[in-house]
Structure 1
Amino acid sequence: CNRGCRMAGGVYTWEDVQSHCTKTDQWVVINRKVYNVTQWAKRHPGGFRVLYHYAGEDATEPFSAFHPDQKFVQKYMKALQIGELAATEPSQDRNKNAAVMKDFQDLYVKAESQGMFRTRPLFFILHLGHIILLEVLALLMVRYFGTNWIVTLLCAVMLATAQSQAGWLQHDFGHLSVFKKSYWNHVVHKFVIGHIKGASANWWNHRHFQHHAKPNVVLKDPDINMLNLFVLGDSQPVEYGIKKIKNMPYNHQHKYFFLVGPPLLIPIFFHLQIIQTMISRRYWVDLVWFMSFYIRYFYCYVPLYGVIGATALLFFVRFMESHWFVWVTQMNHIPMEIDYEKHQDWLTMQLQSTCNVEQSFFNDWFSGHLNFQIEHHLFPRMPRHNYYLVAPHVEALCKKHGIPYQTKTLWQAFSDIVTSLKSSGDLWLDAYLNK
């Protein structure tokens, strides 16, 4: 080690590991073994930023959460191993609650032994079937009943519903929670997100895994990177206020959120970001799948609406889908704790940044089971139809350790987004005017 921290026999202390936490020098600990992932990060299937977010830390829990076939992955990790923790070092660094981590690991083993990670294929077949059915019925309806505004509106609603539900379905494959073999999850993921939705699997993977690895952590979770349009949580608004940063009138962000967030995220921001990412990073396979969606769509709808009309219809579909997506995905996170890195244990970090919404048949379908956001974040590879099975065990574990486990109504979860934006905006204004 060029920093002089290496001990005899490749044995290290936590202090040694924590000193390797830059983009050009990254060490991680997994099951007490120390790995130098600096060069591997560029080839990591989940994206280089995920590894960087855990540089200098114990990554055992996220490693277990994200990788279904750990023995297979560990074969490739042997070349990266440079040693192990000294026998005198604890299994976790001192910033983390060892008791909580031990109980969570026991729960993980219990969930596996009780078959909670086993998939029911019929669930996903039926889910894909109802998406295809909606797409087909929307097209047939326009062909047989014409392009008047009522039929067009109904068509758009059906297409937006299909797109939203396809979004939840690609999420399942992206998390490798459907097939036992990762390969088939990746293949079907590219088909669903590419051909059915017109997006990029690699773009989604690299963005979404960061969110799961460090949810609501400023500078690490891309889902709370609001490009200075909004300030979130308690720390960021005060920081911006003290520094006199006023890119937007943040004390009114709970109002302009309705004009900027839900309507524009998917049709404008995500769409441009996906294209830019595929081209700049040369995701040519994703680009082919992406183009196949638009070829199919315009082939079906240009003869009925013309180029301009078909384009307008698609934009309107994306507009409605975007509202659906934003409200569902933000209801579990924006009202929760948002702060800089605290190096907490996996369970505590996930629980402080996520909450649940009450279970019902509609809530499950409407949110793609993301109403069980807590369970999804703790067990991202678990098939979503099993979240309700593990939820009581998670709640009991949280109660044992005094960790809040929040469950809200759907309406309360939606309204809390606006309330939290207003609270953060008020914090910014107070700091801006008085400090």
Structure 2
Amino acid sequence: MNPSITATKPGAPRERQVSEFTALSRTVQDAGLMRRRHGYYWTRFVVLTALLGGLVSAVVLIGDSWWQLAVAAGFALVFGQVMFLGHDAAHRQIFASGKWNDWSSLVLANLYSGMSYGWWNHKHSRHHAKPNQVGYDPDINADVILFHTETLEAPRKGFPGWFAKRQGWLFFPLLLLEGINLHASGVKTVFGRGEVKRRPVEIAFVTLRLGGYLGLVFWFLPLGMAFAFLGVQLGLFGLYMGAVFAPNHKGMPIVPPNSKIDFLSRQVLMSRNVHGGRFTDWFMGGLNYQVEHHLFPSMARPHLRRVQPIVKEFCAARGIPYTETSLMASYGIVVRYLNKVGLAARDPFQCPLTAEYRSAR
């Protein structure tokens, strides 16, 4: 056990945790785990660019054939990997220069994937600041799916009540629409009236990407096949994104809006890791190390696997619950949790979800 991260400092519990996390950060720095990995990221960028070029060529060469739906599935997978790379750039993992990271994210999100970097970055930054806290984390705001009942003013009845009761089972099928939602939210933001940094660049990149992509599909494919192509690509892309992001926090404790909690406890207690080896690392874009990513958001993706044992030892030494499970088990947790919330939405007094947070403390 590394003595540099186990010494307990005097003072109040929160002060000790801050001091101890500083020691953990120093240990991570000394191990070289915060250094850049330019070769890794440039290789991924070149490979993904080549794959997208190959898929575009496939659309042109295959022509009028239902094999195009396999190409659409390939686009969904590659666009997902592109977004993981854009996520890394947005967290300043790739370059030391903030400007280089910003432009990388703009190219990857807007030009390659047709979504708004500005919209996503604003939303994601709020999530990282206070994950699973009601009123602060936009990822748990009530929408079609209820993630908590903290702000529910009245029971859901009729069809909304019927849906809420089954929302856990319906969650993953609904993700087939998430691809459309992600694109629509980005377009609404960049063409809206709100503040958007580099708005002209975002508009130009999104317009070029969406216009060029739709032109490619509708020019080389018959009308019905073109719509089927877009349905498969957008549906699988949304399902892929949701299947990767849902296990990270859904089903973890919900933090009431007025609660104060230190950085260390907030990031560890509200996050769930997913184990499963190298394939899981690739499939989830490194986000299976969610605890480590939230503690060190600017850490290069390849180092997350290496820092995990250090973080687990750190948490174990201090009795901080560290949650980790398999991918399939995490999906079961998400479904059961959402059904539980849905039942509470029909009778808000039936299921006090905040007890989960209090017990986690």
Same fold flag (TM > 0.5)? yes
Amino acid at match of 1:231: L
Larger CA deviation: 425-434 vs 273-282: 425-434
Where does residue 281 of structure 2 map in the other structure? 364
- Mind listing any 5+ residue stretches in structure 1 that lack a counterpart? 1-91
Unaligned runs of 5+ in 2: 1-10, 353-361
CA distance in 2, matches of 1:165, 1:254: 26
Residues 83-98 of structure 1 mapped to structure 2, 5 A cutoff: 97-98=14-15
In the other structure, the counterpart of 1:254 is 168
Q: CA deviation at 1:289?
A: 1.1
1:406-417 to 2 correspondences below 5 Å: 406-417=323-334
1:394 aligns with 2:311: yes
* Residue in structure 2 matching 1:333, options 246, 249, 267: 249
Shift of residue 195 of structure 1?
0.7
Amino acid at match of 2:130: K
Residues 91 and 297, structure 2, Cα contact 8 Å, conserved in 1: yes
**Is 1:321 aligned to 2:240, yes or no?**
no
Q: Is the contact between residue 73 and residue 232 of structure 2 (CA under 8 Å) also seen in structure 1?
A: no
Alpha-carbon RMSD? 2.4
Matches within 5 A, 1:46-85: none
**1:308 Cα deviation from its structure 2 partner:** 6.5
Question: Which whole-Å CA distance do the structure 1 matches of 2:178 and 2:262 have between them?
Answer: 32
Which of structures 1 and 2 has the larger relative contact order (alpha carbons within 8 angstroms, sep 6+)? Answer: 2
1:154 to 54, 63, 70: 70
In structure 2, distance between residues paired with 1:372 and 1:263: 25
Match of 1:263 in 2: 176
Alpha-carbon shift at residue 164 of structure 1 (Å) = 0.5
Number of residue pairs aligned between Structure 1 and Structure 2: 335
Change in 2 beyond 3 A, CA 1:434/1:370:
closer
Q: Indicate which of 81, 85, 90 corresponds to 1:165.
A: 81
Q: Find the residue that maps to 1:371 and give its secondary structure.
A: coil
Residues 316-339 of structure 1: per-residue CA shift (max 9 Å, x gap): 211101001011101111111113
Contact 2:76 2:236 in 1 (8 A): yes
Structure 2: how far apart are the matches of 1:176 and 1:428? 39
C-alpha distance in 1, partners of 2:115/2:125?
Answer: 16
Asked if the contact 2:130–2:137 (Cα under 8 Å) also holds between the matched residues in 1, the reply is yes
Secondary structure of 1:408's aligned partner:
strand
Q: Per-residue deviation at 1:344?
A: 0.6
Contact 1:194-1:292 within 8 A present in 2 as well:
no
Q: Matches of 1:338 and 1:115 in 2, distance apart?
A: 34
Report how far residue 244 of structure 1 moved: 2.9
Superposition deviation, residue 296 in structure 1: 2.9
Aligned-partner SS, 1:331 = helix
Q: Go from structure 1 to structure 2 and tell me whether the alpha carbon gap of 1:186 and 1:431 turns closer, same or farther (over 3 Å shift).
A: closer
What's the secondary structure of 1:97's corresponding residue?
Answer: helix
- 1:182 aligned residue (98, 107, 114): 98
Structure number with higher strand proportion: 1
Which position in structure 2 is the counterpart of 1:384? 301
Q: SS at the partner of 1:370?
A: coil
Q: 1:403 to 1:139 in 2, by over 3 A?
A: same
Q: Secondary structure at the match of 2:96?
A: coil
Please tell me whether residue 117 in structure 1 is matched to residue 34 in structure 2.
Answer: yes
Q: Deviations over 1:113-142 (max 9, x none)?
A: 222111222211222233223222222233
Q: Which amino acid aligns with 1:331?
A: P
Answer yes or no: is the 8 Å Cα contact 1:230–1:248 preserved in 2: no
Q: Deviations over 1:58-112 (max 9, x none)?
A: xxxxxxxxxxxxxxxxxxxxxxxxxxxxxxxxxx9x7x62212211111112212
* Residue number among 24, 32, 36 corresponding to 1:107 in the alignment: 24
Contact 1:132–1:162, Cα closer than 8 Å, also in 2: no
State the 1:378 CA deviation.
0.6
